[in-house]
Every structure is written in structure tokens, then in C-alpha cells.
Structure 1
């Protein structure tokens, strides 16, 4: 877990299949709101965001990535679980090496102590506002 007042650097992977994207589901207990975010995680000291992206997908869902292209950077100021957060997000477009990931309905994985779910979601459901994508600027890359 990160310390209060810390700016975190994350590497996130945008994976698409047709009109759907592979996304992680989260829940904010204070806002009582479900939200969705691209998969990935924190960049460790001495590691590039490119390396962190590959490591996080490997650790969380045992997936290898290919066709990795850098898309851009988003600075994200947010509140989660009643606490202020600040992140620098390095965004990459990528594909799964193993085709089995494209067949999955959903996938439950552990992130630290928490159980999380990743699933394929129609991009139109984020664009219409039916589902909440965080940060909202991520929509520009979809």
C-alpha cells in the first residue's frame, strides 16, 4: 500500500478485442460505487514502466503480453475510500500472447489482500456513462 501524500507511478495496459476491452472491476466503499480501470500496477524503483506492465500482468493473472506500444501519460487526482490519491499513469496498448485470455468471460485474481475481477466489457458502456471508467481521460485511448 502506498503512503499518504505520495505520488504513485503506474503502468496500465489497454487490451481490446473488437468493441470490447479487458478491464479490472473495483469498488469504493465510501462512495458505494463500482468502477472500472485498466489492468496494471505500480512501477518499482529501478524498473521502467514497460517492464512494470509486463511484470504486473504476469503476477496478477499469469499473462504474457505482446505488441506493446506506448500511448501516453495521464495525471490522475482522485479520491478513493475517502482518501486523496495522486497517480501518474503510463498507458500502453498491448495484446495477450495466449489466445485463451480472449475467450474468458471473467477472471478472479488477488491484488494484495483483495480479490478482484477482470472482465471483457463493451467500450460503448463506458462512453455512454452506464459504467464508470477511471480515470475518465482513459476514454480518449479507447
Structure 2
């Protein structure tokens, strides 16, 4: 780790169904604001981004993915909870294998022992209108 923090390399899966996308809900305590982002997580050393994508979806919501297509790379500089963050995001488009995931209202999953998250389908229009916040902003280029 350098003295300014660390650059995280993560993978996110963009799952679109009609006019909706599948996202998880996050909360920034410093800004008192809720935000949404696609599911995914960190890429481990020695692991490809594709393998990490499949592992993260399986670990978090026990979902298998299909029709996986690489979309591109996003560099994301942000401030979360008052601290600067820097991510390199490998972005993939994908679909769920199990059709039950398309019927879900929402589901709760554990990213770690004390981190509970909610994942849900949200209309893209609600992000585009600014009613809800989708991060990173560059995500809009792929919708």
C-alpha cells in the first residue's frame, strides 16, 4: 500500500432486463445518502476478472451467470465516507442462468459478517432522471 491509499481492481456485472438493471444498495454515512451500483467485488491476485465475476455473484447471491460479455474498463475516483477511493473496474454484461432471479423484488445478502446489502431491480429511468444515484457515473455510458 502506498501512502495515499490503494487502487482497488474490481469487477462488476451489468445485468439488464427490459428497462431495469440489477443493483445493490449502498449507503454513505458521511453524505447521508443512498447510492446503487452493479454487483461484483474485488479481483484476487492470480484470478482473472471473469473468474472473479462468477465467484462474486455465486458467493453473494448464489447466482450463476451466462451470456457474459466484456464491456470495458472504468477508472473510478470517488469519496466514500469522507475518504478518497480509487478503483479500476472491469465491467461485464451478463444474464442470470436461473430465471427466478428475474422475478425477485429484492434480496438481502452478506458481503461479509457485518455487512448486509440489499440487491434489487430498479428502472433505469429512475437513475437517468436523477431521482436515484447510480455509481460510478461512467456506468451510464453502457446503459
Whether these two folds match at TM > 0.5 is yes
1:43 to partner: Cα distance: 0.2
Mark the CA change 1:41 to 1:98 in structure 2 (over 3 Å): closer, same or farther: same
1:86 aligns with 2:81: no
Runs of 4+ in 1 over 6 A off after TM superposition: none
The answer to whether the aligner puts 1:130 opposite 2:122 as a matched pair is no
Could you say which residue in structure 2 is the equivalent of 1:119?
120
Partner of 1:97: 97
Q: Look up the SS of the partner of 2:31 in the other structure.
A: coil
State TM-score, norm by structure 2.
0.96
Deviation at 1:4, TM superposition (A): 6.3
Deviation readout 1:87-125 (Å, 9 max, x if unpaired): 000000000000000000001000112110000000011
Alignment of 1:15-26 (within 5 A): 15-26=15-26
> Using the alignment, how far apart are the partners of 2:141 and 2:133 within structure 1?
14
Q: Give me the whole-angstrom Cα distance separating, in 1, the residues matched to 2:51 and 2:76.
A: 21
Q: May I ask how many residue pairs the two structures share in their alignment?
A: 140
Unaligned runs of 5+ in 2: none
